[in-house]
């Protein structure tokens, strides 16, 4: 009750009933990622051994190359759809935004980062080092091994899609990011994105420099260089802090005033 009268006293009259935190969306996305990749891992575990050992067999075409073609098309379409949806539904009148709405969008942005992190975990961590295990198991006869089809051409484009989505969300909905371009955010999204084109260097190197899969071979260091740019999450986080403090912090300050009076 006391809380309500205080709020009224400050002239917070807007009737906004929507929750600040879109928990459902975040947990659904995280759960979808885990469910999807656990299925992928199962598929790989079964059909990697069954049909993935000889790239010249017809089964390999059916079970693996078709997967490659399908996933590339689906990813390209999904990325285009996600980004164009976010642009199309952009906020065209940011001036009219209430502080609470702005705060809600920051909360959603934080949740985008969680989902991006989950995507990066599966792509850059889980399936990347997994490739190390597969390299120790087969002497490969193609650039498109089952492990590569999942790692390079599935898990990387998917996290790139989430990164681009989070960036577009910020750009089209949050006033701070709408103006100009945040360099750390560009690095956070396009550093990991560049890991994907860098596959070109990697596979090109492997085409004439056949080497055993030494993970620390210099040919692989391009991936490392681009992964460093993920550290720009520091800059992005610091960029949003002053505004977060303005949006939320004032109330804490008033709390102290209350205590003093």
Partner 1 sequence: MSALTSAVRTPEEAAKVFRTLDFIALGAFFMILLASHHVHVMLLMGDWDFWVDWKDRRFWVTVVPIVSVAYPAAAQAFFWEKFRLPFGATLVTLGVLAGEWANRYFNFVGFTYFPINFVWPTILLPMALFLDAMLAISKSYGLTAVVGGLMYGLLMYPANWPLLSAFHVPAEYNGVVMSLADIMGYQYVRTGTPEYIRMVEKGTLKTFGKDVVPVSAFFSGFVAMVMYFVWHFVGRWFSKDYHINQL
- Residue 72 CB, nearest distance to partner 1 (Å)? 22
Nearest-angstrom CA–CA distance, 195 and 149? 15
How far is Cα 193 from Cα 131, in angstroms, rounded to an integer? 19
Closer to partner 1 by CB, 26 or 170: give it: 26
* Cβ atoms of 170 and 109 closer than 8 Å: yes
- Name the one range near partner 1 by CB under 8 A: 51-59, 71-79, 83-91, 240-248: 240-248
When binding is defined by CB under 8 A, the residue of 55, 149, 189, 195 that contacts partner 1 is: 195
Which one, of 206, 202, 236, lies nearest residue 109 by Cα? 236
Candidate list 53, 65, 82, 103; residue touching partner 1; CB under 8 A: 103
- Between residue 19 and residue 48, which ones bind partner 1 under the rule CB under 8 A? 20-21, 26, 41, 44-45, 48
Residue owning tokens 């701070």: 176
Q: Classify the phi-psi angles of 16: left when phi > 0, otherwise alpha if psi is within -120 to 50, otherwise beta.
A: beta
Quick note: the x/- pattern for partner 1 over 136-175, rule CB under 8 A, is xxxx------------------------------------
Binding piece for partner 1, criterion CB under 8 A, among 55-63, 68-76, 80-88, 133-141? 133-141
Under the criterion CB under 8 A, does residue 110 sit at the interface with partner 1?
yes
How many residues line the site for partner 1 (CB under 8 A)?
A: 86
Pick one of 65, 68, 99, 206: the residue that binds partner 1 (CB under 8 A). Answer: 99
Residue selected from 128, 145, 168, 172 as contacting partner 1 according to rule CB under 8 A? 128
Which residues does 79 contact at the CB level (< 8 Å), separation at least 6? 157, 160, 161, 164
Class of residue 212 by CB neighbours under 10 A (exposed 0-12, middle 13-18, buried 19+): exposed
Is the CB of residue 49 less than 8 Å from the CB of residue 132? no
For residues 24 and 59, give the distance between their C-alpha atoms in angstroms, rounded to a whole number: 40
Q: How far is the CB of 143 from partner 1 (least distance, A)?
A: 15
Q: Is the dihedral of CA 181, 105, 190, 78 positive or negative?
A: negative
Among 117, 142, 203, 206, binds partner 1 (CB under 8 A): 117
Q: Do 243 and 106 contact (CB within 8 A), yes or no?
A: yes
Q: Does position 190 bind partner 1 by CB under 8 A?
A: no
Q: How far apart are CA 134 and CA 140, in angstroms?
A: 9
Residue 73: CB minimum distance to partner 1, A? 26
Residue in 133, 210, 260, 261 binding partner 1, rule: CB under 8 A: 133
Per CB under 8 A, does 213 bind partner 1?
Answer: yes
Site string for partner 1, 44-83 (x = CB under 8 A): xx--x-----------------------------------
């Amino acid at each position: 009750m006391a809380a309500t009268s205080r709020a009224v006293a400050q002239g917070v009259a807007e009737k906004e009933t929507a929750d600040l935190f879109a928990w459902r969306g975040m947990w659904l996305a995280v759960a979808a990622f885990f469910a999807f990749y656990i299925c992928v891992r199962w598929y790989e575990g079964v059909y990697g051994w069954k049909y993935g050992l000889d790239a010249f067999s017809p089964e390999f075409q059916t079970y693996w190359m078709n997967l490659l073609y399908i996933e590339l098309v689906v990813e390209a379409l999904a990325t285009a759809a996600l980004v164009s949806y976010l642009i199309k539904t952009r906020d065209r009148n940011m001036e009219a935004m209430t502080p609470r709405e702005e705060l809600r969008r920051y909360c959603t942005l934080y949740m985008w980062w969680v989902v991006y992190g989950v995507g990066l975990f599966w792509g850059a961590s889980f399936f990347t080092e997994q490739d190390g295990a597969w390299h120790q198991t087969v002497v490969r006869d193609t650039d498109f091994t089952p492990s590569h089809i999942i790692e390079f051409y599935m898990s990387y484009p998917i996290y790139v899609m989430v990164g681009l989505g989070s960036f577009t969300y910020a750009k089209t909905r949050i006033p701070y990011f709408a103006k100009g371009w945040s360099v750390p955010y560009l690095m956070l999204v396009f550093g990991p994105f560049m890991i994907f084109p860098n596959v070109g260097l990697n596979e090109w190197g492997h085409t004439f420099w056949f080497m055993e899969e030494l993970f620390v071979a210099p040919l692989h260091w391009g991936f490392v260089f681009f992964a460093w740019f993920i550290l720009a999450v520091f800059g992005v986080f610091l960029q949003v802090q002053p505004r977060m403090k303005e949006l939320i912090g004032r109330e804490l300050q008033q709390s102290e005033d209350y205590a003093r009076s």
